[in-house]
Amino acid sequence: MTFTFKLPDPEATVIEFCRSSLWGSVWIKANGQKVFGKSAFNPSSQIDLSLTRKYEVSLPGPSPRHVCITKVRPLLFAGFRRHRYFVSFNGQPLEEHYGY
């Protein structure tokens, strides 16, 4: 699952989120620079009994910018059904995406 969105901040930061549904690796880029990464070799990216997972990033700069991407997986047959991704910026909901 890959999606890109623009933050409503004065810097007009472009955030790119990518998650491999096969391997479980995750990375987040801000304006082309990697700010968050989770390896597929990390056991916590493979096994999790919770239905939600949060990926939080605080971006440096003159104003505080906090991005939270929450992944919600379905209860049954999660590997075969689309997951929901909620994006919030400084605590305010921004976007919602669906995908594997």
Judged against a pLDDT cut of 80, whether residue 46 lies above it is answered with no
Tokens 């590997």 -> residue: 79
Q: What is the CATH number of the domain that holds 93?
A: 2.40.128.180
pLDDT tier for residue 52 given thresholds of 50, 70 and 90 = very high
pTM of the model: 0.87
Q: What's the number of domains the chain is made of?
A: 1
pLDDT tier for residue 94 given thresholds of 50, 70 and 90 = very high
Mean pLDDT of 35-59: 87
Mean pLDDT of 49-78: 91
Q: Which helix (H) or strand (E) holds 3?
A: strand 2-6
Strand partners, 85: 71, 97
Domain span at 68: 2-99
Residue 12's pLDDT is what? 87
Report DSSP letters for 44-73, one per residue. GGT----SEEEEEEEE-SSS-EEEEEEEE-
Q: Are 84 and 93 in contact (CB under 8 A)?
A: no
* 67 burial level (CB within 10 Å; 0-12, 13-18, 19+): buried
